[in-house]
Amino acid sequence: MVEDTKLQNKLVSKIYNVRLKESIATFTKNLFYVMFDDEPATELQHLENLFVDMSSKLEIEDAFNIWETFKFNLPSIRRRLDLDAVAIEQHDPAAKSLGEVYLAYPGFYAIAIYRLSHELFELNVPIIPRMMSEYAHGVTGTDIHPGAQIGDSFFIDHATGIVIGETSIIKNNVKIYQGVTLGGVQVKKSLSATKRHPTIEDNVIIYANATILGGDVVIGANSIIGANVCVTVSIPEGSILTYQKEFNIRSRNHD
pLDDT at 200: 98
Side by side, which strands form the sheet with 143-144?
143-144, 163-164, 181-183, 211-213, 230-231
Q: Say whether both 114 and 174 belong to one domain.
A: no
The domain spanning residue 238 has which CATH number? 2.160.10.10
pLDDT at 11: 57
The domain spanning residue 120 has which CATH number? 1.10.3130.10
Alpha-carbon distance 249 to 25, whole Å?
Answer: 49
Q: Which amino acid is at 162?
A: I
Q: Is 3 within the bounds of a domain?
A: no
Q: Say whether both 115 and 212 belong to one domain.
A: no
What's the domain range around 67? 18-142
Q: pLDDT digit of tens for each residue in the chain (255 aa)?
A: 556 666 566 555 677 889 999 999 999 999 999 999 988 899 999 999 999 999 999 999 999 999 999 999 999 999 999 999 999 999 999 999 999 999 999 999 999 999 999 999 999 999 999 999 999 999 999 999 999 999 999 999 999 999 999 999 999 999 999 999 999 997 777 777 789 999 999 999 999 999 999 999 999 999 999 999 999 999 999 999 998 877 777 787 765
Q: Is 148 within the bounds of a domain?
A: no
pLDDT at 248: 74
pLDDT at 49: 98
Alpha-carbon distance 195 to 167, whole Å?
Answer: 5
- What's the number of CA atoms in the CB half-sphere (13 Å) around residue 142? 25
